[in-house]
Structure 1
Amino acid sequence: MPLPALADLLDRAHVVALPLTTRFRGIDVREALLLEGPHGWTEFSPFVEYDDDEASTWLSAALEFGWSAPPAPLRDTVAVNATVPAVDAGRVAAVLARFDGCRTVKVKVAERGQVLADDVARVHAVRDALGPEGRIRVDANGGWNLDEAEHALHALAEFDLEYAEQPCASVPELAELRRRVHYMGIPIAADESVRKAADPLAVARAGAADLLVIKAQPLGGVRRALAIVAEAGLPAVVSSALDTSVGLSMGVALAASLPDLDFDCGLGTASLLERDVAASPLRPAAGALPVGRIQVDRAALDESAAPSDRRRWWLDRLGRCHALLAQAR
């Protein structure tokens, strides 16, 4: 696909700032740059702390989705999980109430400034809310060392975990932890070891994970993510990076294109936003999301416009990342 001209992208760019219902990933407001491409709306929203090299991969994904048609979907809807941030156990029920019909819950653990007892209480509250048939997965974002992860999974095993996502940061740690906890029957999933790695297939070659968590934007687009899953030969679950409904629709397109989709996907996170930019926000209904393009509500786009200094910051970032893509070609 030819690289669109920067001037064209700047003319199409809308920068938004969306408040969250609950502090998540250390932020209270999610910023994103939206573009209306020839094939529909798309999103460029690498987290602000990511450098330009990493962010340029997200721009590749945005341009692919807005300037070309996604692969033909294999399903019309995608089942999704609820996401519980690292909140007090007493707030779990209120968070889950925003995720209609979801019977799988991803629970954030290993939050900086908290202790294992906080994680146990939170997961316990989720299990109480779900009952015995609901599925629970935990996500540590690489926050535990090897021994901490082993100890934590022992403490959390009684809640019948579906899997543990990125319990440790490095591939060798994941491989050793997988060996240590194999007898417990808790699969290990890799996220950051895929999307933030120079070699996203290293975790699969090392036998360090039972499944992959894949995200369309960080991996450079729907087609590259599909190729990684195919080459890795492991089951995959599609997740989001706290996107707007526009970015989530890219993740849904990825999930809809996977030949096998055995896990509920982490694409319901629009429920964590106080407001969105879509005419019909992509929030779970009966535990699923529809496949298809998102129509942006122009009034909501204007209402959510970022302050001028933040808009300039994002446009400058867009220019730098565009230059990197041009140089790579």
Structure 2
Amino acid sequence: MSLPPLADLLATARVVALPMHTRFRGVDTREALLFEGPQGWAEFSPFVEYGDDEAATWLAAAIDFAWNPQPAPVRDRVPVNATVPAVAAESVADVLARFPGCRTAKVKVAEPGQTLADDIARVRAAREVMGPEGRIRVDANGQWNVDEAEHAVHALAEFDLEYVEQPCATVEELAELRRRVTYMGIPVAADESVRKSSDPLAVARAGAADLLVVKAQPLGGVTHALQIVTAAGLPAVVSSALDTAVGLAQGAALAAALPDLDYDCGLGTASLFLDDVADRRPVDGTLPARRTTPDAAALDRLAASPDRREWWLDRLRRCHEALGGAADAA
């Protein structure tokens, strides 16, 4: 990848802070740095706890999206799922109402401080709203050990799960769980084991998953993510990393370029925000596969505080240097 000068990124950099309807993945307000390149706007938004080595991959993805043409799409709209945070069961219907037309719901489970009973109640509430024809998948973010995951899959099986996402943390655990529950016909999906691994194909080689959850930013961009999916030889679901509307456009570009798309994608997460830099909420359960230009007024309205802006600009400088940019490029 040809690396543009840091000054070119800083020239249009805007740091925003998006408030959320409900706490999600430990986040109440989602911060992101946006910049514009020759191809359009891109997003750099690794989670704040990530180190610079990991965050630099996210920057490479953003630069690729802003500076380079993307793979040709094979579809112009992408079906998306609703996302249900670890809310109380009585709040599930209100959450799902923000995802009009979505036929699939991904329900967060295994939230620290909650119980399996809470998960069961939440998934039951989602099934009641979605009806018998709706699709329900659950995401544990690697919080269960193998025995806990096996017990949870049995307890949740009555709700006709489409798949269970990252039930355990390690590839070895995923492989063991998959061996134990294969007879139930509930697929195992890998997310963090692909996204945070130095060897994203390890999951496929170990027979640890039936499908992959891929995200454009942490995998280094659309082209690299497509290469991983092709090499793995497994079905893929494209998901967001709690992106702004700009980042969701990159995810949609990845989903639009996949030769096969058998599952609804986790790109409807704009509905989790109270406000955004543009409107990328699902319409009739789908998103358009096109770039997003942020609204100028929204960039001003959602601007992060001066100290947070400087924190993100410093992070941008460090990650640019880690990618091979000169330290004094600014």
Normalising by structure 2, report the TM-score. 0.98
Deviation of the 1:10 alpha carbon: 1.2
In the alignment, what sits opposite 1:302?
300
In the alignment, what sits opposite 2:36?
36
Deviation of the 1:8 alpha carbon: 1.6
Matches of 2:119 and 2:28 in 1, distance apart?
Answer: 21
Matches of 2:162 and 2:141 in 1, distance apart?
Answer: 16
Matches of 1:2 and 1:233 in 2, distance apart?
Answer: 29
Number of residue pairs the alignment of both structures matches: 326
Deviation of the 1:2 alpha carbon: 1.7
In the alignment, what sits opposite 1:130?
130
Residue-by-residue CA offset, 1:274-302 (whole Å, 9 max, x unaligned): 00101xx1111110001111121000000
Residue-by-residue CA offset, 1:164-223 (whole Å, 9 max, x unaligned): 000000001000000000111110000000010010000000000000000000000000
Q: Kindly, what percent of the aligned residue pairs are identical? A: 74
Deviation of the 1:265 alpha carbon: 0.2
What amino acid is aligned across from residue 167 of structure 2 in structure 1? P
Deviation of the 1:327 alpha carbon: 6.5
Spell out the pairing of 1:180-199 with structure 2 (5 A cutoff).
180-199=180-199
In the alignment, what sits opposite 1:282?
280
What amino acid is aligned across from residue 33 of structure 2 in structure 1? L
What amino acid is aligned across from residue 76 of structure 2 in structure 1? D
Matches of 1:5 and 1:104 in 2, distance apart?
Answer: 42
Classify the secondary structure of the residue corresponding to 1:326.
Answer: coil
The counterpart of 2:311, out of the listed 299, 310, 313, is: 313
Matches of 1:79 and 1:152 in 2, distance apart?
Answer: 28
What amino acid is aligned across from residue 129 of structure 1 in structure 2? V
What amino acid is aligned across from residue 263 of structure 1 in structure 2? Y
In the alignment, what sits opposite 1:111?
111
Matches of 1:33 and 1:277 in 2, distance apart?
Answer: 11
In the alignment, what sits opposite 1:159?
159
Matches of 2:72 and 2:130 in 1, distance apart?
Answer: 34
Classify the secondary structure of the residue corresponding to 1:28.
Answer: strand
Task: State the 4+ residue runs in structure 1 displaced beyond 2 angstroms.
Answer: none
Whether contact under 8 Å (2:3, 2:325) holds in the other structure is no
What amino acid is aligned across from residue 202 of structure 1 in structure 2? A
What amino acid is aligned across from residue 284 of structure 1 in structure 2? P
In the alignment, what sits opposite 1:231?
231
In the alignment, what sits opposite 1:255?
255
Matches of 1:184 and 1:86 in 2, distance apart?
Answer: 25
Matches of 1:130 and 1:77 in 2, distance apart?
Answer: 22
Gaps of 5+ in 1: none
Whether contact under 8 Å (2:34, 2:43) holds in the other structure is yes
Classify the secondary structure of the residue corresponding to 1:313.
Answer: helix
Matches of 1:10 and 1:228 in 2, distance apart?
Answer: 31
RMSD: 0.9
In the alignment, what sits opposite 1:323?
321
Matches of 1:246 and 1:31 in 2, distance apart?
Answer: 13
Matches of 1:282 and 1:110 in 2, distance apart?
Answer: 28
Whether contact under 8 Å (2:59, 2:320) holds in the other structure is yes
In the alignment, what sits opposite 1:51?
51
Matches of 1:327 and 1:138 in 2, distance apart?
Answer: 41
